Amino acid sequence: MEPSAKYLYYPGCSLKGTGIAYEESLLTTFRLLELPIKELPDWNCCGATNYMSVSETSATLLAARNLALARQTGSRDLLAPCNACYLTLRKSQELVAHYPKIAHEVEQFLEQAGLPRLDSVRVRHVLEVLYTDVGVERLRELTVRRLQGVRMASYYGCQAVRPYGEVDDPHEPTRMDQILKAVGVDVVEYNLKTKCCGGALTGTIHDVGVRLNYILLKEAMRQGAQAIVTICPLCQFNLDAYQAEIRKQTGEPIDMPIFYLTQIVGWALGGDVRELGLHRAISGKKLIEQWFTVKKEAETYV
């Protein structure tokens, strides 16, 4: 094995597809923060919510393979930026820790597959790394340009703050707000921070999924937000992709950029539009163009 990076990056399927901008902005942000990061070789799908719906054991085995691979690299911190991946990997650790029967199955599988036994790999979320390992103050110091006067709502989605995580408080999370404020964004009050976006429902029971996202967007608007910042590829996708449809259905003038936290932080640290994937937005393109144009004078007021 080659020498290990501090952070082992577990992309999960979305960050290679619909959430590619998350990967781009994450890697850029980490580069700007000089945090060594490396992709987990030959990672497999975490299983997400779907696998758990079909087989608990198989779902755990699937997740366990990633944890075993992580151990092979020697890195302790497995970074899962997607909320679903984060929760699934942590949940599988809990299941192994609490249920000997499951632990036994996992052990057997890893042996058959020629993988090492599980060890204390820490599954981590981007928000938590930015908040804990880097720190709000450090981010404030490193900020080279500010999105002055831009009002944003922070949106966590569900799974990052729920039972298995330690990303933030499940009721009143504040860390994302703190980070956004530190890098110069005006953060609005937003009560739906941890309300579900519907996940895969937009693809299965479309009208229900879209309605949930309509509520999230509308409340953000009511609170005066011009954009929403997310930490999950599925949330970003759901909020971003269906705004045209919502406009058509409700007649409300919703056209709001939906960002990843790493895009906003990365921009503040000096990343450029393309390397942060800001050009991949579907909604709110006008505002994005307006905000993220590098003007000479814009940088002077830092």
Partner 1 sequence: MSEQRNGHVRIGVYICHCGANIADTVDVKAVAEYAATLPGVVISREYKYMCSDPGQELIQKDIEEHAINRVVVAACSPTLHENTFRGAAERAGLNPFFVQMVNIREHDSWVHSDREAATVKAKDLVRAAVMRVYFHKPLEKRRVPIHPEVLVVGGGIAGIHAALTVANSGKRVYLVEREPTIGGHMAQYDKTFPTLDCAACILTPKMSAVRAHPNITLWTYSEVVSVDGSVGDYKVVVKRKPRYVHEDLCVGCLQCIETCVYKDSKFDDEFNLGLSKRKPIYIPFAQATPKVVVIDPDACIQLKTGKCKKSCMEACVERGAIDFAQKETYEEIHVGSIIIATGFQTFDPRRMPQYGYGKYPNVYNTLEVERLVNASGPTSGQVITRDGRVPKSVGIVLCVGSRDENTNRWCSRVCCMTSLKLAHLIKEHTGAEVYIFYIDMRAAGKGYEEFYQRVLNEGVHFIRGRVAEITDWALDPSEAGKLVARVEDTNTGFVRRIPLDMVVLAVGLEPQPDAHEVQRMFGISCSLDGFFLEKHPKLAPAPTYTDGIFIAGLCHGPKDIPDTVMQAGYAAAEAIALADTGFFELEPNTAYVVEEECSGCKTCVPLCPYQAVTFNEEKQKAFINEVLCKGCGTCVAACPSGSIKQNLFEDEEIYSEIEGVLAYA
Partner 2 sequence: MERQIRYQREADLEWAHRFTQHPGCERLLSCIQCGTCSGTCPLSIYMDITPRQVIAMVREGFRDDVLKSKTIWLCASCYACSVECPQKINITDVMYRLKREAIQNNVFPKRFPIPVLAQEFCEMVRRRGRNSEFWMVFRMALRSNPAILLSMMRTGWDLWRTGRLSMRMERIQRVNELQYIPAATKEVD
| Cα 191 to Cα 274: distance, rounded to the nearest angstrom | 32
Binding residue (CB under 8 A) for partner 1 from 39, 56, 133, 219 = 219
Contacts (Cβ under 8 Å, ≥6 apart) of 78: 8, 10, 40, 66, 67, 70, 89, 121, 122, 123, 124
Nearer to partner 2, 170 or 270 (CB): 170
**191 touches, from partner 1, partner 2, none (C-beta below 5 to 8 Å by class):** partner 1
**CA 114 to mean position of chain CA atoms:** 31
In whole angstroms, the minimum distance from the beta carbon of 119 to partner 1 comes to 32
102 binds partner 2 (CB under 8 A): yes
| Cα 92 to Cα 102: distance, rounded to the nearest angstrom | 9
In whole angstroms, the minimum distance from the beta carbon of 289 to partner 2 comes to 14
**222 touches, from partner 2, partner 1, none (C-beta below 5 to 8 Å by class):** partner 1
124 binds partner 2 (CB under 8 A): no
Q: Which of residues 189-208 bind partner 2 (CB under 8 A)?
A: 194-196, 198-201, 203-206, 208
Binding residue (CB under 8 A) for partner 1 from 138, 222, 274, 286 = 222
**CA 175 to mean position of chain CA atoms:** 14
Nearer to partner 1, 72 or 223 (CB): 223
Of 239, 167, 249, the C-alpha closest to 207 is 249
Residue type, 85: C
Binding residue (CB under 8 A) for partner 1 from 191, 249, 250, 290 = 191
Distances (CA, A) of 18 to 35, 199, 231, 240, 277: 25, 13, 14, 11, 11
**CA 193 to mean position of chain CA atoms:** 14
Token code pair at residue 169: 């408080």
| Cα 157 to Cα 160: distance, rounded to the nearest angstrom | 7
**174 touches, from partner 2, partner 1, none (C-beta below 5 to 8 Å by class):** none
Nearer to partner 2, 59 or 185 (CB): 59
In whole angstroms, the minimum distance from the beta carbon of 223 to partner 1 comes to 9
**49 touches, from partner 1, partner 2, none (C-beta below 5 to 8 Å by class):** partner 2
24-32, 39-47, 129-137, 215-223 -> range binding partner 1 (CB under 8 A): 215-223
Q: Phi/psi of residue 184, each to 5°?
A: 100, 10
CB 54 within 8 A of CB 108: no
100 binds partner 2 (CB under 8 A): no
Token code pair at residue 173: 């999370």
Binding-residue total with partner 1 (CB under 8 A): 7
**219 touches, from partner 1, partner 2, none (C-beta below 5 to 8 Å by class):** partner 1
116 binds partner 2 (CB under 8 A): no
- What proportions of the chain, in percent to the nearest 5, are helix, strand and coil? 50, 10, 40
Binding residue (CB under 8 A) for partner 1 from 101, 171, 248, 296 = 171
